[in-house]
Structure 1
């Protein structure tokens, strides 16, 4: 019995030994693998760190290159913009210079501005409030806008002519060559016949009727190449008064809008020195409006 009792406790230990020994062996075998795994994990981690560093470096490099490229692009764009701006300003300045040059050239070489009758005022028939068909412009130029019949077509005869022994006429009965005759005083010849008019129909071809108050205080037919300003295109049918020693010489004619003159103020220099200080058609019907020396400067009637 004692022998059996002492032997019985060993059997459980031996069984435990047999159970633990294989487990210990397995543990010893698995341990290198774990170490390898840890080494492998460490290597992988290191590689990952390296890759991360390389990736970070690469990204940094790419970012730097991108920044440099962007900077170059912006610099280039800015430079091009400044260049374009400078070019645009240059072109603008060139255009303004060309425009100014063209304007100056047109001003220096272009024709003068066409004449315009400002503030036309009707000319009334002598001692009446009836329009004559003529108007006076603000600068004094007179032109015919329409033909109107005269209120008083005949001048009054001078009773004193009856007492002149030698004269062209003595009474109105001596003046019958045309309608509306009158015997009036005249320089150098004492008395002479004059003939008035009521309308253009009373005048010879190439003449028109100027009512009293237009060409002096009596109605008369005057030479003219127009009946009204509507016959003159862009011009005006103007009244010309040419000073003579005995009387003024009246006639009408188209005044071109670019005529050398329209009124005496357009003429430079003294009246009696060429080209003269009187704007008129001169003494010849159909002449152009020009500055002339009045005939009374030469003692002519």
Structure 2
């Protein structure tokens, strides 16, 4: 992935995460944030499932039927989340737990929004974090799907092409015959890497870039997953990790430039600049060694 490509991915993920974070802030500024969160949650899930379906469902048959399937999936998912939220928090969503309104009549619009930008407290905070805690599980699953659709495919692409040539099938119109066994090994490698070294990346993204809460985490994961899945649909090999870092930066920038830890970002940016030439150099070395060994053996 080129540097320009990487910058475009970061800009897109930051922009989408900022947009979702603004939605979260309007929930916070509501007179009853808990009830607002319970209202926004089904809508957010519906939008996410529709986006997921658009990129995942096969485009076969009638376009009208395809559209109906996508919309039905989104509406059904949103309704199920509505039922779950009402069952878990229904007794806490009444007007009695609304945040008392103390601003004068002149305090309207942006002034009123900024007064509540720090978020709710007490019961309201429990409701908002509880609702978006459930949503973050869904957004994490969405991000995992996106990761498999792109990053695992990046790893499997070269070996699938090599196996196709080895078996004599070659490239058939730009398509590669992909073995299910190869896909399974790719998935196994992702899981094994997560179990062994994943905790270090989790700590960096989850704690060292900016302070994350369930609402901010949902906004970041949803934004990153959207960018990665759309790129996968277009056949573009991008980095899910780079995209997620950009999304986390986005929710941090939405709270102010000082909310993102510059030291951590410098380390991440340096690692990105180093890995591109390092990967190219190692590929040259390995190719030379393997070519020499094969020639010597022959």
TM-score class, shorter-chain normalisation, is: under 0.3
Higher strand share: 1
Which structure has more RCO (C-alpha within 8 Å, separation ≥ 6)?
Answer: 2
